[in-house]
Amino acid sequence: MLAQRSVPPGLRVIGEAEGLPPLPEMEIGILRNPQAANSAVDRLYEFLRRDLTQQS
């Protein structure tokens, strides 16, 4: 399952009009290991958090 804005050019979204059932709501969580924290991990976490928040 992809967010509408994540569908690559050349592909199309299929759904109920094509006979598929509607997709249920879903939740996504991000888990971080505090002992493995560094600037790269922090930046990736913030990027994912912002990106996922924009989709909701």
User: Which amino acid type is present at position 34?
Assistant: P
Say if residue 45 is exposed, middle or buried (CB neighbours under 10 Å; 0-12, 13-18, 19+).
middle
Read off the pLDDT of residues 15-39 as tens digits, 9 standing for 90 and up: 999 999 998 888 888 888 888 878 9
> Does 56 score more than 70 pLDDT?
no
CA distance 28 to 37: 20
How many Cβ atoms are within 10 Å of 21's Cβ, its own excluded?
A: 7
Question: Which residue ranges make up each domain of the chain?
Answer: 4-55
**pLDDT in the model for residue 16:** 93
pTM: 0.54
Query: Residues 6 or more apart from 20 whose CB is under 8 A from it?
Result: 14
Q: Which range is least confidently modeled, 16-20, 44-48, 50-54? A: 50-54
